[in-house]
Amino acid sequence: MSQENVLESVSRTHFGEIQNVNSALLDWQEVDGQPGNYIKVLTIDEKRHRVDFLFRQDPHKEFARHTHRCTAVALTLEGLWGYREGEEMHFPGTFSYEPPGSAHTPFASEQGMMVYASFQGTGPEMLDILDENDTVLDTLTLDFFRQYYVAAA
């Protein structure tokens, strides 16, 4: 008996609450207002206030300073990156845990970077974008990530 691997030609499959994604079939989308920052949203779980995604930065780019309202984790897949507020640099295989309330500004080295990230909160609010005085400019919710979610083709 031969089985076809559906995910080789379809970007997403679902059965029950299980979601499977072939991220290679999803296009990178530039994040609005954040030049050189790109996202591929893998899953959004409204019930559990969770989003999983791939995030990429071009060389020498950064993402706006922000604080988390959720728990965030990131596993570095490619490149070299860090936080403007820290000293360490993350390389492939390093893991970062960011609890609610942590504020930072991620930036990429000359290599650029790509991480797998997962945000899980107690509500739909995920990040507060901050100005240089740590005043909240915008709050990113699950709706923000939904605009980058591409349904199966």
Find the domain containing 135 and state its range.
Answer: 30-146
CATH number, domain containing residue 128: 2.60.120.10
Does 93 fall in a domain?
yes
Cα separation of 28 and 55, whole Å? 9
The total domain count for the chain is: 1
- Which residues of the chain are modeled with pLDDT < 70? 1-3, 153
82, exposed or middle or buried, with CB in 10 Å at 0-12, 13-18, 19+?
buried
Does 18 fall in a domain?
no
pLDDT of residue 1: 43
Does 11 fall in a domain?
no
For the whole model, what pTM was predicted? 0.91
Does 112 fall in a domain?
yes
Does 4 fall in a domain?
no
pLDDT of residue 17: 87
Q: pLDDT by residue (tens digit) across 9-36?
A: 888 888 888 898 989 999 999 999 999 9
Q: Do strands 66-68 and 29-30 pair parallel, antiparallel, or not at all (unpaired)? A: unpaired
**Contact, 38 vs 56, CB < 8 A?**
yes
